[in-house]
Homo-oligomer: A and B are copies of this chain.
Amino acid sequence: MNAAFDPPSPSAWQSAQALIGQDVADIDTPALVVDLDAMERNLAHMAAYARAHGLRLRPHAKMHKSADLARLQMAHGAVGVCVQKTDEALALARAGVTDIYISNEVIALPKLKRLAEAVQALPDTRFAIAVDSAAGVLRLAQALEAAGVGGEGRIDVFVEVDVGHGRCGVPPGEPAVDLARLIAQHPVLRFGGQQAYHRQAQHRRDPADRAKAIGEAAWAAALTRERLQAAGFTVPLITGAGTGTFALETSSRVWGELQAGSYLFMDADYARNESAPLAPVFEHALFIKAHVMSRGAQHAVCDAGHKSHAIDSGLPTVWSPSGLVFANGGDEHGILRATHAGHPLPNLGDTVWLVPGHCDPTVNLHNMMLGVRGGLTEGKVERLFRVDARGALG
C-alpha cells in the first residue's frame, strides 16, 4: 500500500469506543455527527427505490469512506460500492468489503501493482475498474500478470464514456469499441460495460437543466451500446448516476446501475437543487457539532472552520439554532450572524449544528463519525463509523 496513507490506528480507535453512550450534549467539538434515524430512513428509501425500479444500486463510498457504512448499504440490497481511488478500494477491501468498483482511471504503475496484489491476495473480493485509454487496459493486464493473477475474468473493466461532463472518458461511439476489443484480448479481464456519469449535471439547480444533461448523456450511452453490440459485444451493464440525477437515469431505462452516494447523508449543496418529479427526497443526516467560543456585539464565533468542513460547494448552513447564517471565518472559525436585526445570537458555550456544504470532502477531514440515536438534542452516541479510507489519495 501507499505509505503516505494511514487509516486511524487501532489504539486510537479503541480509545474512541469510550464515546459510545455519551449524551449528545457531551460530544466535544467540532465533531462529525450522523443522525442515525435520518440516515436509516435515507438508506431504506434509496434501497426501496432501486428495488422498485429493478435497478442495481452501487453507492459511491468515496462519500463516506467507511467499511461499516458500505456493509450497511450492502445489507440493504446494494450489490457493492464504488470508489474513486486505488487506495480507497484497498482500505475498504482490507476492512472486509467484498465488491468494490474503482469508477475511475488508474494508469500509474505503483497503484496498478497494489491493486493487482490485492486481486491476487483476496480471491473472494470482487474488484472492478474503469478505463479510457489503451495504456490503461495494457498496464492493468500487465500488472495482473506480474502479480500472478491467472484465470478468466478476474476483474471487471468498464469503458468510461464521456457522456457530457468533459472530464475522463472516451468520446461516445467507436472509441469505446476499440477499448472493448483491447479488453477482449486479455482473458484475465472481463468487459463489464460502460461507465457513464455526468458530474456537472448533479448540481444544476433547475430540474429542467438536469433533465437536458441526462437526456444527452442517455443518448451518448445508448449510441455507444449500439456500436458495441454492432461490433459483436454484449454490454452487461451501463453504470453511473448521482444523487442529483438518478431518477432521470432511471427513467431513461439506459442505465442498469445507480452510483448515487450523497443520498445517505445529504449535504447543503444537494439540498439547494430544486426537487424534480419522481425523485425521492432525502433528509440531512450529517452534521457538524460546533460551539460558540467568542461573542461580539453583532456576531458569534464558533469553533468550526474549513479544517472541519469542506467549502468547495459552499459554506455550511446553520441547522440550529434557527435564524443564523454562517460566514467564512477561516480555517478554524465560523462567523454566525442573525438573518434579521433583533434575532438573538447564541451565547458563549452554546451548541451550534451545521450542515456541511459538501459531504464527501468533509468526511475526509475526520477520523470518524459519531452515530447518534434519538436526535441531536436528547440523543446518545450509539456507534462510531471509522473513516477507513480517510486521506487515501493514491
Contact = CB atoms under 8 A, between A and B. Distances in A.
Contacts of A18: 3
Contacts of A11: 9
A270 to B, nearest CB: 14
Interface string A1-25: 0111110110111011011000000
Interface in A289-309: 291, 293-296, 299, 301, 303-304, 306-308
A43 interface: no
A6 B4 contact: no
A254 to B, nearest CB: 22
A19 B296 CA distance: 49
Contact of A294 (B6, B168, B294, B365): B168
A393 B299 contact: no
Given A3-B12, A4-B16, A329 B167 contact: yes
A84 interface: yes
23 contacts: A2-B28, A3-B18, A4-B16, A4-B28, A4-B368, A5-B12, A6-B9, A9-B9, A28-B108, A28-B110, A84-B332, A105-B301, A107-B348, A107-B349, A108-B349, A135-B349, A167-B333, A168-B333, A306-B310, A307-B361, A311-B312, A365-B391, A367-B391
Interface of A: 2-6, 8-9, 11-13, 15-16, 18-19, 28-31, 62, 84-85, 104-108, 110-111, 132-133, 135, 162, 166-169, 199, 291, 293-296, 299, 301, 303-304, 306-308, 310-312, 328-333, 335, 348-349, 360-361, 364-368, 370, 391, 393-394
A168 B108 CA distance: 46
Give the copy number.
Answer: 2
Contacts of A8: 6
Q: For the complex, would chain A's binding face be called helix, strand, loop or mixed by DSSP majority?
A: loop
B3 A330 contact: no
A301 B393 CA distance: 15
Contacts of A368: 4
B295 A133 contact: yes
A394 B29 CA distance: 6
Given A29-B394, A30-B393, A106-B293, 18 more contacts: A2-B28, A3-B15, A4-B16, A6-B9, A9-B9, A28-B394, A62-B332, A107-B293, A107-B348, A107-B349, A167-B294, A167-B301, A306-B310, A307-B360, A307-B393, A308-B393, A312-B331, A365-B365
- Ordered nearest first, which 7 A-B pairs have the shortest CB separation? A9-B9, A6-B12, A168-B294, A3-B16, A84-B332, A6-B8, A6-B367
Nearest to A332: B84
Contacts of A308: 393
A332 B349 CA distance: 37
B3 A31 contact: no
